[in-house]
Copies of this chain bind each other. A is one copy, B any other.
Amino acid sequence: MAFKFEVVTKFGELSENAKGWKKELTLVSWNERDPKYDIREWDPAHEKMTKGVTFTAEELIQLRDILNEMEIE
């Protein structure tokens, strides 16, 4: 699979596993398209990644509001 990507902004890390892969919230441009918010795991060099989920700004705002109404346990 050949594609280009650029991590425009890294907002934060959700976790890190034993091999150093980190689950991160980022803003990523895929194949030079408009950047999207993105959650997936990245290797320490930020070159390899797992599959993930992308979000629009509206989806991320909804997600934030849902999380703020939950009791996470």
Contact = CB atoms under 8 A, between A and B. Distances in A.
Interface residues of A, number: 31
Contacts of A58: 15
Interface string A45-64: 00000011101111111111
A2 interface: no
A72 B61 contact: yes
Nearest to A39: B53
Contacts of A40: 53
Q: Which of A15, A37, A57 has the most CB of B within 10 A?
A: A15
Interface string A8-44: 0001111100000001010000000000010110000
A47 to B, nearest CB: 19
